[in-house]
Chain A
């Protein structure tokens, strides 16, 4: 039997979700130059937010998503102002360890609040699927893919068309010049960071109905996210999209064609990350590596 059509569909659907997962990471790094090691925890909290809303009131995760995203954005902006803004000019080690510490706190707070059990949200569409010729298309993943792509497109339009978006891009490209043009840096930084958190939250909401969620999911998401943005080129949002689909294809291919592949697929991200960093640290279309 030929796996190829199924492989392509699976990889595309996965790639869409990966794109949403990393685009926030790429955005906040591009603007603030701080890598957010707590990004995975934003995704995790989004998933638990959707779970809690669903369990308490039965509201569909997708309906709750806009509200959770706004909450995530506000929380992110607050977090940025009280902590990360203070280390913007400090050595990398402080930025890395600070966001790492924030991630650790969020992860374990979630562990205490929701316990370590794996949970999932099961709206009607979660396990639906339909056949398209020989290919099976899982309904939940297709919906997740659609939502992810919509959000990514909205982000691109926002970056291209609005005043805020232009300011964001200006900061990412030429900080000094942007400051001279009168852009309010600290406000823009907080906004970019908040947006990045809310994109992470949206990813979590989608993940909540695609599989099981646990307080520890953030770390794996983070490392995968790193693999993707490093592959695409640190600081490039378009690169992140390309990287997301590349990693999705590589992982899916490994799990289809390699014996015992589903286990090894997990290692694809790490291998990719390591190889790209060593062979071409600027990634596919990234900027030169200045430390």
Chain B
């Protein structure tokens, strides 16, 4: 267990260092891939945080989109830097997450999922209908003179991705992790054990929202253009959930492994099938189905399983959760 943990920590630190170092290397194609992986790591980690607490989000593009718009609008209006506008997006995303947690109260499962779906679609239409602010369907450009160098953005993206995983690790070591797990398994029991589900949930959704919003903001700086379809695209919602599922849901490494695999997969389909519309999404759908039916623990579970090591005891489990875990 300890040796295994050392290897995992070592691999994690090494890949973080490599990711950051790669941004100083001048290879546009690889930089671009790694940037997209970084953004997806943030989005997937954020999704996984909510999933850990039993909240299935089908609207992560809502956070992403709001973050993107916040960043570009703030940059254009105040001539802000990447750093300050992403900070603003973090705050706005956290506020939006907190608000979502507050208004959805104790909604769980499909109700919460449908709520988030409605939120992101509603925001997309609202963005389309208020062209005075968002530019409507015409879109919104980042002022050209504000744009930083690509490499600065690569570095910023890599650092943000590492920071996001860092936040997830911190949470996994904190009381929040146990609260999340307990809420996922049985909220009533969690409440009896002295966990205040609503407060924990507010914190989790706020952190998750801030993370996804920041990813959207950084990506908006990179892209330099936004319209409602780009900002609130369902594609991001799909990516946000598929990466953790493929990598290994409810784990720390899962979203990271999944993000790398998903970007690799989408590049591979692009190379093999050219720009044929629908192929990459079709593959994502198949991955989702196959993972749910045959690979519920994702790639991470597969790696662990192959070691022939007994599965690590999943936290000093609460009685209720251990009963659930025992289910086949």
Contact = CB atoms under 8 A, between A and B. Distances in A.
Interface of A: 35, 83, 86-87, 92-94, 96-98, 100-109, 111-112, 115-116, 215, 219, 223, 226-227, 230, 234, 260, 263-264, 266-267, 269-271, 273-274, 277-278, 281, 289, 291
Contacts of B170: none
A55 B200 CA distance: 56
A68 to B, nearest CB: 23
Given A94-B296, A104-B284, A104-B285, A230 B114 contact: yes
B122 A104 contact: no
Contacts, number: 132
Nearest to B125: A267
Contact of B104 (A108, A226, A278): A278
Given A278-B105, A291-B110, 19 more contacts: A83-B289, A87-B293, A96-B56, A97-B241, A97-B288, A97-B292, A103-B285, A104-B282, A105-B289, A112-B279, A116-B277, A226-B117, A230-B111, A263-B128, A267-B125, A269-B118, A274-B122, A278-B103, A289-B111
B282 A98 contact: no
B110 A35 contact: yes
Given A104-B238, A230-B114, A93 B278 contact: no
A96 B110 contact: yes
Contacts of A108: 278-279, 281-282, 285
Main secondary structure of the interface of B (DSSP, over half): helix
Interface of B: 51, 54, 56, 58, 103-105, 107-111, 113-115, 117-119, 121-122, 125-126, 128-129, 234, 238, 241, 245, 249, 276-279, 281-282, 284-289, 292-293, 296
Given A86-B293, A104-B282, A264-B129, A92 B110 contact: yes
A112 B292 contact: no
A174 B54 CA distance: 26
B215 to A, nearest CB: 21
B277 A112 contact: yes
Main SS class of interface, A: helix
A270 B125 contact: yes
A93 B51 contact: yes
A48 to B, nearest CB: 14
Nearest to B103: A278
Contacts of B289: 83, 98, 101-102, 105
A253 to B, nearest CB: 17
Which 8 pairs across A and B sit closest by C-beta, in order of nearness?
Answer: A101-B288, A104-B285, A270-B122, A105-B285, A111-B278, A108-B278, A108-B282, A291-B109
B97 to A, nearest CB: 15
A274 B115 contact: yes
Given A97-B245, A267-B129, A102 B115 contact: no
Contacts of A267: 122, 125-126, 129
Given A35-B110, A277-B107, A278-B105, A107 B281 contact: yes
A277 B111 CA distance: 7
A223 B121 contact: yes
A87 B282 contact: no
Contacts of A266: 125
Nearest to A289: B111
Contacts of B126: 267
A35 B107 CA distance: 16
A273 B238 CA distance: 21
